[in-house]
Chains A and B, each alone.
Chain A
Amino acid sequence: MEEARGRVHKYGDNIDTDVIIPARYLNSSDPAELAAHCMVDIDPEFAGRVQQGDIIVGGENFGCGSSREHAPIAIKASGVSCVIAATFARIFYRNAINIGLPILESPEASRAIADGDEVEVDFQSGTIRDITTGEEFRAHPFPEFIRRIIDAGGLLASLREEA
């Protein structure tokens, strides 16, 4: 996990886990099946449009609502390489880290980046570059303990390393 590059799918504030993956699809935990319904209640064309490496940009409180890990799993399985938002709901934040979906908080990037822009992210430095507009933003790079989890390949792998 060093960098991501892709086209942006932009959404607003309070994108909740019910629109990321509605409960009616929770009778499965198969990533591919979840990806097929990702964002369906807010953006029915998302699953058909998303390309490997694409980036989701949201506003405030992205991922609020239920604790369903199916939400970051659906996003990751869609091929999304990174989610950038002004702020994240806390359970979504930990779930994303724990399953290895990179996420960055940057209110400035969240405001400035437009739907369809080409964006590049350097995770080492926390730099977000909007290639379409030439603008650059800086997010907090991951704190030490999160890097440890990610470097180990997720929470469970890090746990086994310690054991």
Chain B
Amino acid sequence: MGMTMTQKILADHAGLPEVKAGQLINARLDMVLANDITGPVSIKEFDKAGFDGVFDKSKISLVMDHFVPNKDIKSAEQCKTCRTFAKRFGIDHFYDAGEMGIEHALLPEKGIVASGEAIIGADSHTCTYGALGAFSTGVGSTDLCAGMASGMAWFKVPSALRFELTGKMPPFVSGKDVILHIIGMIGVDGALYKSMEFCGDGISNLSMDDRLTICNMAIEAGAKNGIFPVDDITREYMKGRVDRPYKEYSADPDAEYEKTYTIDLSTLRPTVSFPHLPENTRTIDEAKGVKIDQVVIGSCTNGRISDMRAAAEILKGRHKAAGIRVIVIPATQSIYKQCIHEGLIDIFIDAGCVVSTPTCGPCLGGYMGILADGEKCVSTTNRNFVGRMGAVTSEVYLASPQVAAASAVTGEITSPEDL
């Protein structure tokens, strides 16, 4: 029996010729990631367990992104714990205020993750790097601690769902709409414990940013990982970023999938997830008209340069609606700089937006845009759970940067086609 792409990567990393769904394996890791929230928990465990070294100082990333620049004394202490640990073991990839970006935008951008690698991160959206053809999944702090010490992690080999993408996305439809559509179709536990493997000729029409956005939200369908095949777009993206040899894997022709879904990209509409679950999707045609108080454009889902450009294209020469707040957060320092070079920051500020240095901030209701009682927000982030961005009675509507920017102009959920 053939193996899926995910299974082949796992087999190789476990030193086995073959693995099967359900099998328990111990796999070698190429990268282990934590942030300023999950890192301190792992470090505390690390010290308590009495480990005296890390497995490989070049294969650990510590990214200070959730509450950075620090929002309060406790957050500052958490970063301090990570900073001290990074210094003690000479961790290569430690990113503090000034160099940091949102981890899942930063690691691909800097070539820290590459095709064929096995990566764990103490952050659920670690599944993002599947866009590069890597096996990448979120774990908790204890797994992370064990990973930092041993370079290994246990896995139950996942079965897989196959998503065959055909055709080309129409204007104003992006990777965000593809993944929201899929989550709406299969539900927040539709891929529980499983891999989501993407294939089909429609993939060649998806940019790396689209793929990163799609894999980013695989966890929102409960998946263990999402993964794209490696093609010229992948190789082009990694050129100049990844300076070590990497391996390309592909699924066997006779690999077994629990189910195959075929999605014609040309039929998709801009899509919005209504509160309080990402699966509550509606097309823009059924979503229009909801009055909003705030718009957030950014995050590990949609804070990349193409997202900034898409938002700026709509906001150019326009102004946000009276009485609402619009917060734009480029996901990394280099995206931030690129926005300055291209004049996008001018467009945002002229349109009445707040522009911030990279941070997770509002995405998880941390700071920088907390919602008050009953307020509604259109956000390009990935979760709209109860209280996710602030007050328990506030509401988050998930959408693409285009829809978010168009809604910022009118003050209600709006299709960019209607401006």
Contact = CB atoms under 8 A, between A and B. Distances in A.
Interface string A139-163: 0000101000000001111011001
A69 to B, nearest CB: 4
A18 B382 CA distance: 13
Contacts of A27: 67, 71-72, 74-75, 78
B142 A155 contact: yes
Task: Place the interface of chain B in its size category.
Answer: 35 or more
Interface string B241-281: 00000000000000000000000000000000000010000
Contacts of B48: 156
Contacts of B143: 94-95, 98, 155
A18 B383 contact: yes
A68 B30 CA distance: 22
Interface residues of A, number: 41
A45 interface: no
B222 A29 contact: no
B366 A95 contact: no
Contacts of A132: none
Given A23-B366, A69-B141, A98-B142, A41 B387 contact: yes
Interface stretch (B145-153, B161-169, B298-306): B145-153
Nearest to A97: B142
Nearest to A22: B387
Interface in A101-148: 143, 145
B290 interface: no
Interface string B362-398: 0011100000000000000001011110001000000
Contacts of B66: 26
A72 B141 CA distance: 11
A89 interface: yes
A69 B142 contact: yes
B224 interface: yes
Given A67-B138, A69-B140, A91-B124, A23 B365 contact: yes
Q: Which of A27, A60, A67 has the largest count of B CB atoms less than 10 A from its CB?
A: A67
B142 A64 contact: no
Contacts of B41: 29, 69-70, 73
A102 to B, nearest CB: 15
Interface string A59-100: 011001111111011000000000000010111001100110
Contacts of A91: 124, 138-140, 219
Given A24-B366, A61-B189, A98-B140, A66 B40 contact: no
Contacts of B140: 67-69, 72, 91, 94-95, 98-99
A68 B222 contact: no
Contact of B49 (A16, A69, A160): A160
Given A67-B122, A69-B140, A159 B387 contact: no
Given A68-B37, A156-B145, A28 B74 contact: yes
B350 interface: no
A26 to B, nearest CB: 5
A18 B71 CA distance: 19
A84 to B, nearest CB: 17
Nearest to A19: B386
Interface in B4-59: 24, 37-38, 40-41, 44-45, 48-50
B49 A65 contact: no
B413 interface: no
Contacts of A26: 37, 66
Contacts of B150: 159, 163
A66 B24 CA distance: 23
Contacts of A24: 365-366
A42 B276 CA distance: 13
B193 interface: yes
Given A14-B188, A29-B44, A22 B365 contact: yes
B124 A67 contact: yes
Contacts of A29: 40-41, 44, 78
B366 A69 contact: no
Contacts of B386: 18-19, 41-42
B89 interface: no
Contact of A95 (B71, B142, B193): B142
9 contacts: A27-B71, A60-B189, A66-B383, A67-B126, A67-B138, A68-B38, A73-B41, A91-B140, A143-B24
3 smallest CB-CB distances across A and B, nearest first, come from A95-B140, A27-B74, A98-B142
Interface of B: 24, 37-38, 40-41, 44-45, 48-50, 66-67, 71-72, 74-75, 78, 121-124, 126, 138-143, 145-146, 149-150, 154, 188-189, 192-193, 219, 222, 224, 277, 364-366, 383, 385-388, 392
